[in-house]
């Protein structure tokens, strides 16, 4: 499951976006006092809907994203204090672009580019503190004993420290695989893929959905981040309407795709994730994997026994299955392939795993 953390300054729309993505009601007072809210977002995928129409299974199981929302962010309550953010696969920074005089901005004015850079500085400073503490400890240990692993760790952390002191996020470093592996346990925040969610005014729809990200271009270039634009307030209102009213309201606003779809798609692109499907009369399910995952590793996502007993994977493209209507028909046309454990799963594969118990 993809894990994403919603971060951002106060009154930028984090909670609205969290509610939109997870379909939860407004947090109760007790939940508001927590450091973070955690919810699950179901990934919209019309391919899964089509497979459900085809198989009419007892269960439809979409892919999911675990979403963590930062609560009560202040200078004294930093990202460093919330372990859930360090465990996230990606950070979604909600940047305020809406103009509402009734909602004061923490910095006194609405400037998305400034806010993006300020949050990046916080990520960098949090990581610098972690790196410096570990370097101090390593220096003490290396005075007592010579150790190749500790020396290698010291070398790569020193490289990180230099970059961080220069204001460079660690996602911009080009580290070899061995060095990157040594840093994995630190879960550096500035090393994580970053998606800016530009939270617009209703008046900006639909014209600025694409154009608004251009104002963030200098930051995107220097940080290696990506951006997507939504109007979280309006999108949440639409999500609470019945389907016909929601469609009519979206059409009036010129919205051809929901904000949730755009954010999920941008997150998948940012992380290089793909989806494969398993189908049958019992259930049709979508699974999410990092691009480059092998068939045996994909089998392990379903159950460890399937991975251990892996024999072959029957693979057919989603488009071929939908076009011909069934796996037997695809076999008759030579469209079902038998793949081994090292086969790299592709986006849209429909897979049946053969395994021995």
34/210: higher pLDDT? 210
Residue 28 has a pLDDT of: 47
Q: Cα separation of 103 and 80, whole Å?
A: 27
231/36: higher pLDDT? 231
Whether 19 is covered by a domain: the verdict is yes
Residue with tokens 């209102």: 237
Whether 160 is covered by a domain: the verdict is yes
* pLDDT tens readout for residues 110-136: 899 999 999 999 999 999 999 999 999
* DSSP reduced 3-state for 354: strand
Same domain for 245 and 98, yes or no, is: yes
CATH number of the domain where residue 159 is located: 1.10.150.300
User: How far from chain centre, in Å, is Cα 357?
Assistant: 34
Whether 280 is covered by a domain: the verdict is no
Count of C-beta atoms within a 10 Å radius of residue 132: 15
Same domain for 97 and 230, yes or no, is: yes
* pLDDT tens readout for residues 204-254: 888 777 765 678 899 999 999 999 999 999 999 998 999 899 999 999 988
* pLDDT tens readout for residues 291-303: 999 999 999 999 9
Contact 55, 280 (CB under 8 A): yes
Whether 128 is covered by a domain: the verdict is yes
Same domain for 300 and 342, yes or no, is: yes
Out of 130, 160, 191, a domain closes at 191
At 29, is the pLDDT very low, low, confident or very high (cuts 50, 70, 90)?
very low
Which pTM does this prediction carry?
Answer: 0.87
Domain total for the chain? Answer: 3
Contact 283, 48 (CB under 8 A): no
Count of C-beta atoms within a 10 Å radius of residue 178: 9
CATH number of the domain where residue 334 is located: 3.10.20.30
Whether 234 is covered by a domain: the verdict is yes
Whether 279 is covered by a domain: the verdict is no
Contact 350, 276 (CB under 8 A): yes
Q: List the domain range (segments joined by +) for residue 308.
A: 292-355
Query: Average pLDDT over the chain, rounded to whole?
Result: 89
Whether 42 is covered by a domain: the verdict is yes
> If you write DSSP's letter for every residue of 220-279 in order, what string do you get?
HHHHT-EEEEE-HHHHHHHHTS-HHHHHHHHHHHT-SS-HHHHHHHHHHHHHTEEEEEE-
Same domain for 31 and 136, yes or no, is: no
Same domain for 89 and 231, yes or no, is: yes
Residue 73 has a pLDDT of: 53
At 355, is the pLDDT very low, low, confident or very high (cuts 50, 70, 90)?
very high
Whether 211 is covered by a domain: the verdict is yes
Element (H, E) at 284: strand 283-290
CATH number of the domain where residue 259 is located: 3.40.50.300
Q: Identify which of 82-96, 142-156, 167-181, 308-322 has the greatest average pLDDT.
A: 308-322
At 34, is the pLDDT very low, low, confident or very high (cuts 50, 70, 90)?
low
Burial of 339 (C-beta count, 10 Å sphere; 0-12/13-18/19+)? middle
Same domain for 15 and 102, yes or no, is: yes
């Amino acid at each position: 499951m993809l894990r994403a953390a919603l971060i951002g300054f106060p009154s930028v729309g984090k909670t609205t976006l969290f509610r939109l993505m997870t379909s939860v009601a407004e947090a109760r007072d007790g939940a508001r006092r927590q450091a973070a809210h955690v919810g699950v977002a179901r990934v919209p995928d019309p391919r899964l809907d089509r497979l459900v129409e085809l198989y009419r299974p007892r269960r439809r199981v979409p892919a999911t994203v675990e979403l963590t929302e930062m609560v009560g962010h202040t200078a004294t309550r930093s990202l460093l204090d919330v372990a859930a953010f360090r465990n996230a696969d990606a950070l979604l920074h909600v940047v305020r672009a809406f103009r509402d005089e009734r909602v004061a901005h923490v910095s006194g004015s609405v400037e998305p580019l400034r806010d993006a850079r300020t949050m990046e500085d916080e990520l960098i400073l949090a990581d610098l503190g972690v790196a410096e503490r570990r370097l101090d400890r390593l220096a003490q240990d290396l005075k007592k004993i010579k150790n190749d692993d500790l020396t290698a760790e010291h070398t790569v952390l020193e490289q990180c420290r230099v970059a961080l002191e220069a204001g460079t996020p660690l996602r911009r470093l080009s580290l070899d695989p061995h060095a990157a592996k040594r840093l994995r346990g630190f879960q550096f925040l500035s090393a994580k893929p970053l998606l800016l969610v530009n939270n617009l005014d209703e008046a900006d729809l639909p014209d600025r959905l694409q154009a608004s990200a251009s104002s963030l271009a200098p930051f995107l270039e220097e940080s290696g981040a990506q951006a997507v634009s939504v109007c979280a307030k309006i999108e949440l209102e639409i999500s609470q309407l019945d389907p016909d009213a929601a469609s009519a309201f979206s059409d009036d606003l010129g919205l051809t795709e929901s904000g949730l779809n755009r954010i999920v798609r941008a997150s998948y692109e940012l992380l290089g994730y793909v989806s494969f499907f398993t189908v049958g009369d019992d259930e049709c399910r979508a699974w999410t994997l990092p691009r480059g995952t092998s068939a045996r590793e994909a089998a392990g996502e379903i159950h460890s026994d399937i991975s251990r007993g892996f024999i072959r994977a029957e693979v057919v493209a989603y488009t071929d299955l939908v076009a011909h209507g069934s796996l037997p028909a695809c076999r008759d046309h030579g469209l079902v392939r038998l793949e081994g454990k090292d086969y790299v799963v592709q986006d849209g594969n429909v897979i049946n795993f053969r395994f021995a118990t």
